[in-house]
A = this chain, B = another copy of it.
Amino acid sequence: MNEAYEALAARFHRLGALRAATGMLQWDSAAMMPAGAAPGRAEQVAQLGIVCHEILTDPANGELLDRAEAKLDRLDPWKRANLREMRRSWHHATAVPAELVEALSRAVSDCEHYWREARHRNDFAGLRPRFERVLALVRESAAAKAGAFGCAPYEALLDEYEPGLSTVTIDRLFGDLLPFLKEALPLALERQARAPKAVLPTGPFPAEAQRGLGLGFMTSLGFDFERGRLDVSHHPFTGGAPGDVRITTRYDEADFTRGLMGVLHETGHALYELGLPEDWAWQPVGQAPGMVLHESQSLLIEMQVCRGDVFLDYAAPIVTKAFGGQGAAWGADNLRRLYRKVERGLIRVDADEITYPLHVMLRTRLERALIAGELTIADLPDAWNDGMGELLGVVPPDDKDGCLQDIHWPSGAFGYFPTYTLGALAAAQLFAAARQADPTIEPGIAKGDFKPLLHWLRGNVHGRGHLERTDGILKAATGANLGTTAFKAHIRRRYLD
């Protein structure tokens, strides 16, 4: 018996339950809450945050961690991994002085709020002082963590979203991907120009019909409505709590394509959350290891499965029936063209599989320079526009569609962007391994039976929680560390051959 471990487990159990409660309140804020209730809700969430921070930074925890780690041999692998993640959480929470945490939280709240208006008004100058304040505090916080963890400041930030992720890994993978994508992009555009144009089926597409369609696909994919819901919010997301996973989408009655793919993307996240090991639901080891694997699960469902030939052949008649459609615009060939359109665009969230990583590489490059102090906020718009020209061959006409487009930095999230593209790599690698391991997966998808795929994901990814880091899980599941091979093969097959 490792008593110190058990004492910590009780503390983290409470923490897990309070964070789950917070997750529910945040879902409600986006999906249900009347507008006037926002200030009160912010206060509820802030007070819960303070209570959680106090639980995590309780002075007794440091000694409990030391004592629990001294008897590591008495713990099974799950408890060991749990203890490792307790230590990591505690490290992050205690490395930064409480006053700095509070100052950053206030600065972020102010900057994020201002950003919504500033983006709308294309007002970079107005946002700049708030943005500078956030960056200064994030840099201070990163420096404090870097000192405590013995790593570079940017890596201390990466560790919040993807534990253990290093700039060496990012450089290796992005360095490999960049020339490939810069070569692939014009080739894909040429091929696209030779093919028939994608045609948007004519609407309107009633929200109720779109919802019904989404619910149908969610059910087929294995979403458990006894432990989750589908609702509407301005920005689609997956939230809620362990065992109560809430996804949201938005319905455009003039165009169903984006809302539908949004539901499928969030369903990928949700299947992961619903497949995490229930016995560890309230403990750190019961959570996803990080954002890379989480994004890999949404992209596996969206990009690998649902934008794939096999799925679209299966889905086209179902979609057609849902809206009473007629004609060639409703066929699988046109849906493929709609769902695989490649474009040198300005906006990350509208980007395709080829250009999306280029958007991410630009942001990664810039945020590293910002954290390193090599780039100032004042110089950001020019650096952004230069980078867009170099990487994507288009230059934003204004900051609204340039460096003001993402909420991440104004909300203090530096180090998050790389996980999108690493997630895309992991998705391709996992789907390739899954199809190889179980040859019934693809024929299953062809007839709307996703059980073989879900079974493989449960066993190899979802059910493993945070027992290992992302790389360990990927290696066990695919036989290799995270690489670019499967992703490049996927891009070639879908866009170039």
**Is the pair A37, B224 in contact by a Cβ cutoff of 8 Å?**
no
A244 within 8 A of B: yes
A282 within 8 A of B: yes
What are the residues of chain B within 8 A of A37 when measuring CB–CB? Answer: 227, 241, 243-244
CA distance A293 to B36 in the complex (A): 26
User: For window 37-71 of chain A, which residues contact chain B by CB distance below 8 Å?
Assistant: 37, 39-41, 43-48, 50-51
What are the residues of chain B within 8 A of A241 when measuring CB–CB? Answer: 37, 40-41, 44
What are the residues of chain B within 8 A of A18 when measuring CB–CB? Answer: 44, 47-48, 51
How many A residues touch B, CB cutoff 8 Å?
Answer: 38
A229 within 8 A of B: yes
Q: What distance in Å separates the Cβ of A374 from its nearest Cβ neighbour in chain B?
A: 42
Quick one: given A28-B24, A33-B244, are A47 and B228 in contact (CB under 8 Å)?
no
**Is the pair A40, B242 in contact by a Cβ cutoff of 8 Å?**
yes
What are the residues of chain B within 8 A of A225 when measuring CB–CB? Answer: 34
In the complex formed, the residue of B with least CB distance to A18 is B47
What are the residues of chain B within 8 A of A227 when measuring CB–CB? Answer: 34, 36-37
Copies of this chain in its oligomeric complex: 2
What are the residues of chain B within 8 A of A51 when measuring CB–CB? Answer: 14, 18, 51
A156 within 8 A of B: no
In the complex formed, the residue of B with least CB distance to A39 is B243
**Is the pair A44, B32 in contact by a Cβ cutoff of 8 Å?**
no
**Is the pair A36, B243 in contact by a Cβ cutoff of 8 Å?**
yes
CA distance A401 to B465 in the complex (A): 49
**Is the pair A17, B44 in contact by a Cβ cutoff of 8 Å?**
yes
**Is the pair A48, B21 in contact by a Cβ cutoff of 8 Å?**
yes
A210-232 Cβ-contact flags toward B at 8 Å (1 or 0): 00000000000000111111000
**Is the pair B281, A36 in contact by a Cβ cutoff of 8 Å?**
no
Quick one: given A40-B242, A47-B14, A244-B41, are A228 and B20 in contact (CB under 8 Å)?
no
**Is the pair B226, A34 in contact by a Cβ cutoff of 8 Å?**
yes
Q: What distance in Å separates the Cβ of A232 from its nearest Cβ neighbour in chain B?
A: 13
CA distance A24 to B34 in the complex (A): 13
What are the residues of chain B within 8 A of A282 when measuring CB–CB? Answer: 43
Quick one: given A17-B43, A25-B24, are A34 and B242 in contact (CB under 8 Å)?
no
Q: What distance in Å separates the Cβ of A257 from its nearest Cβ neighbour in chain B?
A: 28
In the complex formed, the residue of B with least CB distance to A36 is B226
What are the residues of chain B within 8 A of A228 when measuring CB–CB? Answer: 34
What are the residues of chain B within 8 A of A35 when measuring CB–CB? Answer: 226
Most buried by B among A46, A48, A50: A48
CA distance A243 to B21 in the complex (A): 19
User: For window 319-348 of chain A, which residues contact chain B by CB distance below 8 Å?
Assistant: none
Quick one: given A40-B20, A43-B282, are A244 and B48 in contact (CB under 8 Å)?
no
Which residues of chain A have a CB within 8 Å of any CB of chain B? 13-14, 17-18, 20-21, 24-25, 28, 32-37, 39-41, 43-48, 50-51, 224-229, 241-244, 281-282
The 5 closest A-B pairs by CB, nearest first: A37-B244, A36-B226, A17-B47, A36-B227, A21-B44
